[in-house]
Every structure is written in C-alpha cells, then in structure tokens.
Amino acid sequence: MWRGVIIRDARLADAGEMLAIYAWYVRHTAVSFEYEAPTLEAFRERLAATTAKYPWLVAQENGRLLGYACAGTFKDRTAYDWSCETTIYLDRNARGRGIGRALYEALEAALGSMGVRNLYACIALADPEDEYLTLDSPRFHEHMGYVTVGRFHRCASKFGRWYDMVWMEKIIGEHEDCPGTVAPYRAGDYIIDN
C-alpha cells in the first residue's frame, strides 16, 4: 500500500536521490543497458531536458524518494508528437507496495491532459530470466495495460550475456483525423498526497 506517499513533480534537488536509485539498476541489473551510471551533472541535464516538455514525477515518503517515472520523446519528428516513451524506476526496497502503479497512473493522466495518445516502453527482456534480469518489468507494463508490439532478439550484451528488447504500447487517447497540438506539461497539476 502506498498510503502516506506523495507523488509530485521532480525538482533539480531530487537528482542525487533519483540517480542513486537508477545507478543501482545500472550496476547490478540488465534493466538498464548503460554500463556506467551517469554523473550527477549528466543526470541533472537529463532531468532538465525532459522537464522542458514532459512530466517527471517522483514518489516521496517521509522526505525520502521511493522512485520516479517520466516521459520522453518517442521519435524526434513532429508527426510523432502525440506519442512518447515512458520510464519508471523504483527503489529496490519499495517494490510491491503499489507505488509503481500510482506513479504510472499519475504520469498517464499528465500525458493524457497534454494530448498524448500513445505510450511506449522500451524494456530489456531475458529469456529465460537470470540473476540480472527478471520478467518483472514486462509483467508490470502488461498489468498497466501495455501490449507487446515488437521484439528485437539478442540486440544488447551486458554482464557477458545477450538480451532481447521489447517495445510495449498503450493507447490512452482517441486518434481523430486532425488532432490539436500537444500542450507542454504544466508542473504541479498532478501532485497526489494520499
């Protein structure tokens, strides 16, 4: 249960805690295909670049960050403006409490209000599971309503093993013939204090 958890917009001051969450996955799992965790400055740059257009939300409990979810450009051509890529990382000790669902629901609401129609998640896949990568992420996304739309076989190598990658998709809006423009994200609209 996530009672007492606040979901709010990420701030530059959160970068260190978010990087600590992400760096664990980089160092110990194949969830991220990065080999080295970014520097704090590089992570701050990622945060600033993302929040110039999209939401980046954090879950916080008693002043401590438990995870984050954000959106990013799916493809950089204008015709793709109604689609975006989603990302989520939870502190490894905060899993199983519904925080991931709450973060993704808030992210989806924010993106939907902007006019985004399609959500995409790029997910590492082990077949079979191993000590570096479980099927938790594809299962989570499936539970959130995403469906697999593509698979790339043995396209990435980490820890001396080959991994697949899947794209999962969720449609969150109507696809009318002449869609309006996608509005920029307005920070502060989706703060949830349970």
Q: Is residue 191 part of a domain?
A: no
Of 136, 138, 122, the residue nearest 73 (C-alpha): 122
Residue 87 is part of a domain; what is its CATH number? 3.40.630.30
Distance CA 87, CA 68 (A): 8
Q: Is residue 1 part of a domain?
A: no
Domain count of the fold of the chain: 1
Tokens at residue 187, please? 């920070």
Is residue 42 pLDDT above 60, yes or no?
Answer: yes
Distance CA 74, CA 21 (A): 23
Distance CA 190, CA 1 (A): 19
Side chain identity, residue 24:
W
DSSP 52: T
> Which range is least confidently modeled, 24-28, 29-33, 147-151, 184-188?
184-188
pLDDT digits (tens, 9 = 90+) for 52-104: 999 999 999 999 999 999 999 999 999 999 999 999 999 999 988 999 999 99
Q: Is residue 140 part of a domain?
A: yes
Side chain identity, residue 21:
I
pTM for the structure as a whole = 0.93
pLDDT digits (tens, 9 = 90+) for 154-184: 999 999 999 999 999 999 999 999 888 999 8
For helices 15-28 and 40-51, what crossing angle results, to 10°?
Answer: 110
Q: Is residue 189 part of a domain?
A: no
Q: Which residue has the higher pLDDT, 105 or 191?
A: 105
Please compute, for residue 172, the number of CA atoms within 13 A of its CA located in the half-sphere on the CB side: 27
| Number of Cβ atoms within 10 Å of the Cβ of 193 | 9
Contacts of 53 (CB under 8 A, 6+ apart): 73, 184, 185
pLDDT digits (tens, 9 = 90+) for 126-141: 989 999 999 999 999 9
Is residue 189 pLDDT above 70, yes or no?
Answer: no
Q: Is residue 59 part of a domain?
A: yes
Q: Is residue 112 part of a domain?
A: yes
Q: Is residue 193 part of a domain?
A: no
Tokens at residue 179, please? 């869609």
DSSP 3-state of 45: helix
Is residue 22 pLDDT above 70, yes or no?
Answer: yes
Instruction: Quote the domain boundaries for residue 174.
Output: 6-182
pLDDT digits (tens, 9 = 90+) for 83-94: 999 999 999 999
Q: Is residue 54 part of a domain?
A: yes
Q: Which residue has the higher pLDDT, 185 or 27?
A: 27
**What average pLDDT does this structure show over 32-41?**
98
pLDDT at 184: 86
Is residue 193 pLDDT above 70, yes or no?
Answer: no
The most distant pair of C-alpha atoms in the chain lies apart, rounded to whole Å, by 48
